[in-house]
Structure 1
Amino acid sequence: MCTATIDDVVHGSGWYYIGCGVCHTKATKGPTTLMCKKCGKSEIDGVAQYLSKLSVYDQKDQAVFVVLGDAGEELTGKKAAELVERYYQANEDVGEDHIVPVPQAMIDIIGQTRKFIAKVSNHNLNGKSQTLTVTKVLPLKAPEPVVETGENVDGESDSGRRSADGVEFKGVKRAKCG
């Protein structure tokens, strides 16, 4: 597990693949249908799955993470299939082999700091690409708000009013992540 900031979505490669609807293995093109080697089926329903490369950094190092499947959805809040379908609906004139550009949902994650669970093996470290495969993305826990109580310089209690417009509140509310 590591905490890193997303620097960029690596360009020059696709951000998704078409996988088997059952096991998510990359589908292969048969003569007239999509096939799955893992399931052994010669006719499958293909589903878009995330396969994105992200450049990330922390205080010490920079790395490239490969984000697959559900981890991409955890980052963007959107299913890859939804983003691909939306693109093709808006661009009906493009062919099937057209490269779908990186969606705005992926661009919007640049600059976010997240906790990543990555799978590390000898292949990751000795291969020519040296990327780490992300299996899960966790939100960073938001810091608890600091609420001070006590006396102000003018003698009024600090606990009832917190803003310049005089709005009173009973407790702090914050947005839920996830």
Structure 2
Amino acid sequence: MGIKTEEPIARADTGAGIRKKELVSIHQLHEFISKTDEQKLKIHYNVSSPIYQKTQDADFLCNAKVLNVLQKNGWSYVSCTGCNRKLDKVGNALRCSKCVSSSVTGVVKYRVELAVHDGHDEATFVVFDNEMTKLTTKTAATLILENGNGGTRDDIPSCIEDLTGKQFLFQIKVTPFNFSSKHRTFTVSKLSEAYTNCTQV
């Protein structure tokens, strides 16, 4: 790729957004978000400023090893078939906060949180449905059916646990969602084992 990790990370200095695919470390990912937070503070909390209105997306590559699969938030969610948002449970019914419909249909999808390490720093990477389906070769709904009565969506299936110890080249998409103290996870848009020769521990 000819990309050096020592090169400084491009910052979201304009409202137009950045679309880079630099190979970076986890430290540099955290640094990118911190610098963007600082930039927002310089606007003096003026939320009408264009920097708050424009999308500030950036794409990076990060080579990291999976330390473990985090269980706190489970590994799946029920998604709205209309807009892919997570459905809220209201009583015995499911409701979509975006789609205004009395008959909302849901489908189970992956949302897997991975604790990863690049040899120096750690982070939480979140992998969603498309990439997890490729990795496991099964849909989230299929895994739940296979677990049967002996498992719930909170029990991590073995094919997901098997990611522990493996190394991947992650493509990370940083969006405004990441630019807050409440959300310090990084969304994985793609991942590949092709660039590593690490075997499962």
TM-score normalised by length of structure 1: 0.66
Looking at structure 1, the residues matched to 176 and 95 of structure 2 have their Cα atoms a distance apart, in angstroms, of 30
Q: Is the 8 A contact 1:125 1:131 kept in 2?
A: no
Looking at structure 1, the residues matched to 157 and 122 of structure 2 have their Cα atoms a distance apart, in angstroms, of 23
- Read off the aligned partner of 2:135 and give its amino acid letter: L
Which of structures 1 and 2 has the bigger CA Rg? 1
Q: Could you tell me which residue of structure 2 aligns to residue 49 of structure 1?
A: 109
Note if 1:103 corresponds to 2:163. no
Q: Could you tell me which residue of structure 1 aligns to residue 170 of structure 2?
A: 116
1:5 deviates by 1.1
1:128 deviates by 3.0
Q: How many residues get paired?
A: 137
Over 3 Å off, 4+ runs: 30-33
Q: Could you tell me which residue of structure 1 aligns to residue 192 of structure 2?
A: 138
- Read off the aligned partner of 2:89 and give its amino acid letter: K
Give the match's secondary structure for 1:118. strand
- Read off the aligned partner of 1:54 and give its amino acid letter: L
- Give the root-mean-square deviation of aligned CA atoms: 2.4
1:125 deviates by 4.7
Any idea what the Cα deviations from partners look like across 1:80-139, whole Å, max 9, x if unmatched?
A: 11111222x343xx8xxx653011111111111112111113542532341111122233
Looking at structure 2, the residues matched to 34 and 50 of structure 1 have their Cα atoms a distance apart, in angstroms, of 18
Could you tell me which of 120, 123, 133 is aligned with 1:63? 123
Looking at structure 2, the residues matched to 56 and 9 of structure 1 have their Cα atoms a distance apart, in angstroms, of 9
Q: Could you tell me which residue of structure 2 aligns to residue 149 of structure 1?
A: none
Q: Is the 8 A contact 1:16 1:80 kept in 2?
A: yes
Q: Is the 8 A contact 2:70 2:115 kept in 1?
A: yes
Give the match's secondary structure for 2:65. strand
Q: Could you tell me which residue of structure 2 aligns to residue 5 of structure 1?
A: 65
Q: Could you tell me which residue of structure 2 aligns to residue 36 of structure 1?
A: 96
Structure with greater helix percent: 2
Identity in percent: 32
Unaligned 5+ runs, structure 2: 1-60
Looking at structure 1, the residues matched to 95 and 103 of structure 2 have their Cα atoms a distance apart, in angstroms, of 5
Looking at structure 2, the residues matched to 125 and 60 of structure 1 have their Cα atoms a distance apart, in angstroms, of 22
1:65 deviates by 0.7
Q: Is the 8 A contact 2:76 2:153 kept in 1?
A: no
1:4 deviates by 1.2
- Read off the aligned partner of 1:81 and give its amino acid letter: A
TM-score normalised by length of structure 2: 0.59
